Every structure is written in structure tokens, then in C-alpha cells.
Structure 1
Amino acid sequence: MRVIICGAGRVGYGLASRLATEGNTVTVVDTTPELIRQITTELDVRGVVGHGSHPDVLVRAGIESADMLIAVTYADEVNMMACQVAHSLFNVPTKVARVRAQSYLQSEWNDLYSRQNMPIDIIISPEIEIGKAILRRLNTPGAFNVVPFGEGRVQFLGVRITNDCPIIETPIKQIPDLFTGLHAAIVGIKRDGEIFAPTQDDPLEPGDDAYFVTRAEHASRLLEVIGTREAKARHIVIVGGGNIGAYVAGQLEAVSGLRVRIIESNKDRAEYAARNLSRTVILNGDAMNAEIQEEAGVGHAEMVICLTNDDKTNILSAVLAKKLGAKHTISLINEVSMQDMQTELGIDMVIDPRASTISSILRHVRRGRILDVYTLEQGGAEVMEGEVLDTSPLAGKSLRDAGLEDGIAIGAVINKTGVVFPDPDLQIKAGDRIILLAERAALKGIEAMFRVSTDYF
């Protein structure tokens, strides 16, 4: 696939790295020569210095033969115009734009993106994606990551394994026998900084981050069995009243019995949030000030969510909140090296905005019938949902005979009967949807499993 990426920032670099590693032809466009020099030196990609929305620059990038344009610059308007130019002048099949300003995303303006107006095929809103991830975490306390698949019928859960977990040192293949009727498959384990798809003989160890696939209605029971289930937070403090913080607060206002407060340092932004939120208390002040946090009631909060534009503010605010008595903290952190400090700092959950955006885009880049994708650990693995077609090598075979390569773990199969546990004797049929985790090295084989036709590749 020939892909042009407009924007060589964190998201653009991450996408270029992933797509180039998988054998795609990638060209990156950016106005900053230093960024282009860095990305072409470190990755196997071409680079073009210039504005991604200018036709002559896109021609130099190879737009006339491109299969996809992905516009992820910092300016919404540049991203939107790049897609318009790619469609109107060069008839590029697929155009993706990152759009951050919420005004562009309001439902009453949906016609803006029709083919006769501004034909953007896929719009990615990082703020909304991140906000939804936070809300899922609040609705499923005890898991540090929650991602829905299969129209919400299946959940992918990340859980920290502690010393008192009742299933440690137990081979994975024996776990289903311990809890009759509980549909839960362990598809991934992060241990010593590495994520892998376990074999059926692998046990869980204290300190592991275990990734489960379970029926949505079994999620609470699974967390109870593991010993991590907690009561839902009723007192929540949000640090940062920007797009993400205001979105999360607005969604929480619809839940009765919650107390939500926002700490926002910018006076204009605090006043804007106050005008647009009805039940949320807004405090204008510095969240790294203990007095401001105490005024917001952080010491009695079950959850403090730090969502400013500054990594250091999010980290230090979360550390201070824990010191003042907050039970749990979530921090938005862009810098990967700082994310690795999570455990030492006592932050319960780190959100990587780049990962959210890349996951959203990858589901549209993946070839074959890949319906959904979620990326883990800076691309160390992906969780995905794919549909089996007649041409798939899986069709008509049992899981035992499917010949799955190492690095792949199946968590659930959705067929005509519903969500099915991945028993080795389960027969896979055309139309079935499979939810699995694949290590990075196994991703090429996954696309072949869900290929559209025998001569697709």
C-alpha cells in the first residue's frame, strides 16, 4: 500500500514507523526540515518538506499513485484541506483526517464531510477517543484498560496481577475449569516490560499485566474472581478543563449521584467550561498547588484524572493527589519515556494519546476484513476483530487444525449462536468474527487469515 502521511509529529512518526515496518511504501510531509530529517534517518520512509495541503507538495510526495492519505498535522484546517485536495485533484481512494476542534464534530454539521462538500472518508478525534477510554475505565473499576469489541458484546480488559490473585502459578489451560460458566480467555501477558501471547501452559505471575477477553456481562465477575473489582467512583476530580476534560465531565453529568469537579488554570477556559457544564464545579487554579487540590476535595476523591496539555503537570498533579489521599489516579502522558515511570510514581493508569489515535487509524489501514484494531505497548502487539470469509485459510477448519503461528492468541469467536469460547475443536465458518491478540511479528499472517480473496496479496 502507498501511504502519504501529512505531519511528522508524534502521531505521524508512530504511524510511519508501524506502516513502514509492515512493508508499506510511506512518504511523510511536514513543514519542519528537522522533523523530516529525523524521520527519514530513523525510518525506512521518504520525506518531503512542505505544506501537506499544497498540490505541488503532494505531487512531490507521490499523491498521483497513493492509495491513502493520512493528515495528522497539528492544524485541523490543514488536515481537512489536504483531504479535499487529495480527492478533488488526485482522486485518492481513502482520506483520513485528525480533527480536534469539537465545533467541526457536532452532529448538525455532518453534511460537511459528504462527497459533494469535503470528502473525508475517516475523521479521527483523539479527544473523544481518549474521553471514551476514560469513561470505560470508570465504568469498569478494577481494570486499567477496557476496550469493547463485537458491538460491545465482548470486552478486552487489562488487569494487574497481585500476590493475592487466586489464579497465579496456574497454567492458563486449567483456569476455565476453576470457574464454571465464566467466559474469559487470557490473550496477552506483559512481563518484565515485554508483551507476548501466552501458550496454554504459561502461568500468571505476580506483577504481570494480564489481558483478558471476556463476554461483556462477565466482566464484573472476572474482576471479582481475580480480586481487583472495586466500587465505582462517586467523587471525581478532573485536572484540566480542555476538550477532553470538558467532554468527560459532560458525560458524567448524566450519571446521578456523582460529584465532579474540574481544576483549570486558565481563567478563560475555566469560564468557558463553567458556561457549558451545569452540574460540574469549576475551580480556577493551579492543580500543582496543594491548597487548590484540597479545595477540590482531592483527599476524599476515589478518582483524580489529569488531562492538561502538559505531561509534567499531569504527572506531578497525580503524585500530589495520591499524597493528599486520592484513591486512584489517571494521567494523560505523551512522552513515552515518562510513561515508563508509572509504577514508580504510583499512577494507576497512563493514557497515551498517540496510541489512541494510531489505533483508530490502523483499523482502516489493515487489509482484509479487519473490523477493529487496538494497539498495545507502542505497537508490541495488537488486539483485533476480523471477519472470516470463504477465502480465508481458517474457513471450514477447527481452531486445532487452523495452523495458527506463534504469537497469536484467540480470545473469542462470534458466530450465529453468539459469543463462543475458543475451544480447540470449535469449527470456524465463513461469517464468524474472531477477536485475538497478535504480537508484532505475527501481524502479516493475521492479514492473510482475513484476506478478501485468494489473489489479494
Structure 2
Amino acid sequence: MKIIILGAGRVGFSVAESLVSERNDITVIDQDAQRLRELESRFDLRGVVGSGIDPQVLAEAGAADTDLLIACAALDETNLVCCKLGQLLFNIPTRIARVRSSGLTDDEAVLGKDGLGVDAIICPEASLTRYIGKLTEYPEALQVRAFAGGRACLASVRARPGAPAVGLRIGELRTHNPEMGLRIVAIYRRFADEPDRFVRCDGGTRIEPGDEVFVLSARETLPGILAALHRPEGQPARPVRRVLIAGGGRVAMRLAELLAEQPGRFHIKIVEVDAKRCMELASALPEDVLVLQGDATDENLLDDEGIEDVDLFLALTNDDENNIMACLQAKRMGAARVLALINRRSYADLMHGTQIDIALSPAQAMLGELLAHVRRGDVQAVHSLRRGVAEALEIVARGDRKSSRVVGRRVDELRLPPEVNIGLIVRGLPVPGENGEPAESPAAEPEVIIPRSHTVIESNDHVVFFLPNKRLVQDVEKLFRVSATFF
């Protein structure tokens, strides 16, 4: 696929890195020549110096035969104008814009073909807010990703000594807890003086303390599964109630607004250094959100605010070093869980396995939304995992036994690479109509199926895969491709 990326900042860099690894033809436009030279020296792509709203620059970048335009420059206006030029002058089939303004996200009349010419909006801040919001629902999880409209979830959790499922083989776990309905799709195991190593999962694989376990299940059964892997037997659940946020930027404000939509559930405090920003936050947020002026790395301030009682500490400033130090300080002083927002990928890698529970990259949080537009076939959702190395993919089976390599066939008949793990199947979701409108909903509720070797895939099944390496994506897409005739 031929792709133009406008903007070589943090988001553009992460997008280019991910898409180049999939053998796409990438061109990046930016006005900073030094930034482009750095990109060209690291990745197999082409840089064009100039403005993305200059038709001559777009033409030089090859817009005339481009398949996808991703506009992720710093300014919303630049991204929107670039998409409109891509539509009017070059007829680029798919145009995606990064937009920070929340007022445009749902306005089809403004964004559509007759408006700004944008096919999809991405907002890293909104993606981060949704991501962190899921962690407040599932406090044992390191990350939670939704599939099939939220009916199924992929979560990763750190196995702890004393938890009921830790020490069991996967086959024993399924035998002893048949009501759980889960599929463990991957385990990453810690080893001394080397990175975590991927462990292939089968019935004989034992879950060991310290393992990072990736599990797929229906949404309703996920809390019990996470507890069985993470919470020692007899220990009561500790839901997230008290939240302390370091930094008062866009993400912090969005998150406070999201959590405040459930009155009385959360006690939220925001610590911000800048006095003017504190006034802005205090006037914009609900009155039960407490805004404090101060430095979140200050030990005395954390002690005064009862850091030992905080269920979730979030360092969301724009400074990676401050976020790391604030989290380490908060964890040392008794915060139950800490999350650091890390922009530099090298820093995020270093944080893995430290006292910081979660190191989160803004670009990685929204990357899956972009990848869903790049994937071929009927891909519904993509989630980038393990800092972009692994991937979870939801793809719909279409056609019939004559036109499809998967429909009407048992799971053990599918010609999948051995590393690819079919996690679950969601059956009975509405089939889109001809004009993109949902068809009449089926009489029965959609069913979440944990597939076995004898499970037969049906047309319109939503199949969720875990791929430990992104190079396997093309094999899965090819398998699900519908042909006019198939022999």
C-alpha cells in the first residue's frame, strides 16, 4: 500500500515506524528537514520537505497514486485542509486526520465527502482517555482492549504468587473452571538479565509467578479471570476509588471529565504546577474534582494528600522524566498502582519490569485505530501490543464454503501459521446492509465462543486472533480473503 504521512512528530514517527515494518511504500511530509533525515536514516521511507497544504508538495510526495493519507501534523487546521486537498485534487481513496478538537468527532456532515473530506478522525488524547478508563474498570489488568463492540476483551495481567490460577497448567485451569470461558493466547516470561520471552501456550503450559498473561474472554467473565491470575486467594478486591493525577494537560482533563460522569464513584485529585492552568481546570471541571497547585514529585505534597491510600496514580505531564520520577516516588510511598505516560519509546522499554506498573505511550494507544484502515479484508479492530511487536486482530469471515478458505471449516482445518492463536469467535452480530446501515438484528443475543479444534466457522463470525509478530498479519488476511471461486 502507498501511504503519505503528514507530520514527522511523535505521532507521525510512531505511525511511520509501524507501517514501514509491514512493507508499505511510505512518504513523510514535514517542514523540518533534519527530522526527515533522521527518519530516512532509520527506516526505509522517503521524506519530502514542505507544507502539507501545498498542492505542489503533495504532488511531489506522490499523492496522485496514493492509497492512504494520514495527516498528523501539530495543527488540526493543517490536517483538515490537507485531507480536503487530497480529496479534491488527487482523489486519494482514504484520508485520516489527527484532530484534537472533540467537537468534530461525531459530525458526519462536517467531516464527510461534501464537507472536509475526512474518512476517519484519530485523537491520541481521546484514545489515551479510553485506555486509562478501562484500567479503572479492571484494576488487576495491565491493559484491556475491546472487540466486537465491547462484547469481548483482551487483557494482560501479571500472575502473582498465591493467586488460584498461578501454578496450574492451562489445561488444568480450563478443566477446573469450565464456567470461566477463557483462552490464554500468550505468556511473556521474565528471565534474569534478558528481556521477557514469548512462551507458546498449549494445555501443558504452566502459569508461573511473574508471567505477563494475555487472556481473551467475554466481557462479563473478565473480572473473575483477572482475579484468579492476580489476586491471592482470600484477598478482597480493591476497586479503583481514589485517583491522583499528576499534570493538568488535555489527557488529564478528559480523564477527569470521564470519571466524573459516575458521581460518587471516584475521588479525583489533579496536581498541576502552573497556577493559571489550575484556575482553568477548576472552572471547567465538576466541583467534586479537586485541583491542587504543586509538584507531584514533592514527597511532602504526596504525603499530605494521602498517597498511601491512592488506588491509581497517573503521571500524565508532557515531561517523561518527571512522570517516571513521580511514579517511582508515589509507588515507594504506598500507591497501589502507578501509570507513567512515556513519549520516548526507549524510556518505555526501560520501564518494563520496574516498580512502574504501566508505562504508556500516547502513539501506541491510538495506533490500532489507524491500523484498522490499513489492514486488507474485513478487519474490524486492531490493537498494537507489546510496544508494537505483537498484535490482536478482529476479522470477519465472509462468503461461503465455495468462496472462502475459512467458512464451513473446522478450526483445525485452517492453514494458519503455528504461532497464530485463535482466541475467540463472536457469533450473531448484525450484518451491515448495502448502504452501510446495520441490517435487522438477529433474534438471539450475540454469542462469545471459545473455539476448540472441532469448532466450525460460519459466515459473519467475528474471529479474534493473537499474533506474537506483526509479520504474520498478511497470512491471516490472505486466509480470510473472499474469492469469486475457490478451489
TM-score range, shorter chain: over 0.9
Q: Distance in 1 between matches of 2:476 and 2:484?
A: 14
How far apart, CA to CA, are the structure 1 residues paired with 2:12 and 2:292? 35
Which consecutive residues of structure 1, in runs of 5 or more, have no partner in the other structure? none
2:319 paired residue number: 310
Q: Deviations over 1:285-343 (max 9, x none)?
A: 22122233234332321111111111111111111112222221111111122113335
Q: CA RMSD in A?
A: 2.0
Q: Deviations over 1:17-49 (max 9, x none)?
A: 332222221111111112211222221212211
Q: Which segment is superposed worse, 12-21 or 72-81?
A: 12-21
- Is contact 1:233–1:303 with CA below 8 Å preserved after alignment? yes
Offset, 1:396: 1.2
- Are the counterparts in 1 of residues 425 and 451 from structure 2 also a CA contact under 8 Å? yes
- 1:292 is aligned with what amino acid? L
How many Å separate the matches in 2 of 1:93 and 1:27?
16
SS in 2 for 1:97: strand
Which residue is 2:431 aligned to? none
Change (3 A) 1:193 1:184: same
Pairwise CA distance, 1:361: 0.4
Deviations 1:364-398 (A, max 9, x none): 11110110000012321110111001243111110
Q: Which residue of 2 aligns with 1:235?
A: 242
- Report which stretch shifted further, 282-291 or 224-233: 224-233
Alignment of 1:35-434 (within 5 A): 35-105=35-105, 111-191=109-189, 192-195=195-198, 198-228=201-231, 230-255=237-262, 256-278=264-286, 279-343=288-352, 345-390=354-399, 391-416=403-428, 418-434=447-463
**Which amino acid counterpart does residue 475 of structure 2 have in structure 1?**
G
Aligned residue for 1:144, secondary structure, equals: strand
Query: Which deviates more, 271-280 or 169-178?
Result: 169-178
The residue identity in structure 2 corresponding to 1:245 is: A
1:262 deviates by: 0.5
Work out whether residues 331 and 338 of structure 2, in 8 Å CA contact, stay in contact via their aligned partners in 1.
yes
Q: Provide Cα deviations, 1:104-137, integer angstroms capped at 9, x if missing partner.
A: 54x5x65321322211111001111101111110
* Residue deviations 1:74-120 (CA, integer Å, cap 9, x gap): 22222111111101211111101111234554x5x653213222111
Measured in 2, the distance between the counterparts of 1:455 and 1:281 equals 63
Residue identity matched to 2:416: L
Query: Unaligned regions of 5+ residues in structure 2, if any?
Result: 190-194, 429-445
Return closer, same or farther for 1:87/1:197 CA change in 2, 3 Å cut-off.
Answer: farther
- CA deviations over 1:116-172 (Å, ceiling 9, x no partner): 221111100111110111111011111111111111111111011123344445443
Identity of aligned residues (%): 30
Instruction: Give per-residue Cα distances to partners, 1:268-295, cap 9 Å, x unaligned.
Output: 2211111111220101122122233234
Alpha-carbon contact 1:263-1:296 (below 8 Å) kept: no
8 Å CA contact retained: 2:99, 2:121 = yes
Cα deviation, 1:167-221, whole Å, max 9, x if unaligned, reads 4454433421121211110112223434465344433232221100011110111
State how far apart, in whole Å, the 2-side matches of 1:98 and 1:197 are.
37
Given the superposition, is the C-alpha separation of residues 136 and 9 from structure 1 closer, same or farther in structure 2, using an over 3 Å criterion?
A: same
Structure 1 stretches of 4+ with a deviation exceeding 6 A read: none
Are 1:30 and 1:49, in contact at CA under 8 Å, matched by a contact in 2?
yes
Where 2:145 maps in the other structure, the secondary structure is strand
The alpha-carbon distance between structure 1 residues 35 and 293, as it changes in their structure 2 partners (threshold 3 A), is same
Contact 2:342 2:361 in 1 (8 A): yes
CA positional deviation for 1:63: 0.1
Distance (whole Å) between structure 1 residues aligned to residue 266 and residue 22 of structure 2: 45
Please give the secondary structure, in 2, of the residue aligned with 1:163. coil
Per the alignment, do residues 164 and 13 of structure 1 end up closer, same or farther by CA in structure 2, a change over 3 Å counting? Answer: same
Letter in 2 for 1:249: A
CA–CA distance in 1 between the matches of 2:162 and 2:169?
Answer: 16
